Amino acid sequence: MSELLHVSSPPHLRSKLTTGKIMFMVILALLPASIFGVWNFGLDAFNIIVISIAACVLTEYLYEIFMHKKVTINDGSAFVTGLLLALNLPSNVPWWLPVIGGAFAILIVKQLFGGLGQNFMNPALAARCFLLISFTGRMTEFVVPRGIAATDAVTGATPLAALKANESVDIMSMFIGNTKGTIGETSVIALLIGAFFLVGIKVIKIRIPLTYLISFTFFIIIFGGHGLDYQFIAAHLCGGGLMLGAWFMATDYVTSPVTVKGQFVYGICLGILTGIFRIFGSSAEGVSYAILFCNMLVPLIEKVTLPTAFGLGGQE
């Protein structure tokens, strides 16, 4: 009886999922894309993944040691940040690039704002954009995957660049992953395997990625200049890291809304911004910048979509 009358502070219902377990599940979900990236681009891709993860974990460890804070590398968040950063890099970048990116992601974007749960934007994407601005040439040179003969390689940096130049692209190669691109963005099927795994075990909800992809599709149908051209639509959905961003970075717990309405608004904003950057911008990409910009809108989105407190529905 005494246990039934025990009073404690909320929350009274707690999830069995810890941060460490969630990060482990995300790592498992990213394995298909990571393995395919290594197979597609060779040992260079593997080296970049290892260096990026090591840079993130080591930066977090050293910062917390020097600042006399609790060491949190066991929660796996730094590992996930390093893996996501690596998957957003070309396989032929020099070794020091993921080191700089990893240090920037952990030190500047994550730790200086208070650590996990306090960062206002996705650390891996922020680091990717930082590297893209600082080392544009290195970040926009892509090697030809193993499965493509040099004479058959798609001209331009990526299939989306070719599409923007009104050149034809191979949709099936983009779906499988036999195209130019970053280590983890090329294979849509590998990314979807991981995404469905996360949805199936309820680590992420489908609201944000589905709203993102649908709103983006409507945008390019209306403003893309091709109408209901299914080849054009499929190419945009399969290219430019859209699947990697929609399923694995836009759904980040820390930088996405917690309210249900807010998640739909967030997904719509992502789709519209990605469409604007791709269709009207000078670059063929746009996913990274769209997600970072919407990360900064999250406090406002949550403020206007916060449910009315019980009992206050009739008040002005």
| pLDDT at res. 157 | 57
Q: What is the pTM of this model?
A: 0.89
| pLDDT at res. 166 | 80
Confirm whether 314 is domain-assigned.
Answer: no
| pLDDT at res. 81 | 96
Confirm whether 4 is domain-assigned.
Answer: no
Confirm whether 107 is domain-assigned.
Answer: yes
Confirm whether 316 is domain-assigned.
Answer: no
Confirm whether 315 is domain-assigned.
Answer: no
pLDDT tens-place values along the chain, 316 residues long? 455 555 555 554 556 678 889 999 999 999 999 999 999 999 999 999 999 999 999 999 999 999 999 998 999 999 999 999 999 999 999 999 999 999 999 999 999 888 888 888 999 999 999 999 999 989 988 887 875 554 444 434 578 888 877 888 889 988 998 888 899 999 999 999 999 999 999 999 999 999 999 999 999 999 988 888 899 999 999 988 899 999 999 999 899 999 999 999 999 999 999 999 999 987 778 899 999 999 999 999 999 988 766 555 555 4
Confirm whether 312 is domain-assigned.
Answer: no
Q: What is the DSSP string of the chain?
A: -TTTT---PSP-S--S--HHHHHHHHHHHHHHHHHHHHHHH-HHHHHHHHHHHHHHHHHHHHHHHHTT----GGGSHHHHHHHHHHHTS-TTS-THHHHHHHHIIIIIIIGGGTSTTT-SS-HHHHHHHHHHHHSHHHHT--PPPTTS-GGGPPSSSSHHHHHHTT----HHHHHHT-SSS-TTTS-HHHHHHHHHHHHHTTSS-SHHHHHHHHHHHHHHHHHSSSSS-HHHHHHHHHSTTHHHIIIIITT-TTTS-SSHHHHHHHHHHHHHHHHHHHHHSSSS--HHHHHHHHHHHHHHHHHHHPPPPTT-TT--
Confirm whether 12 is domain-assigned.
Answer: no
Range of the domain at 83: 19-303
Number of domains in the chain: 1
Domain holding 189: CATH number?
Answer: 1.10.3430
Confirm whether 10 is domain-assigned.
Answer: no
| pLDDT at res. 155 | 39
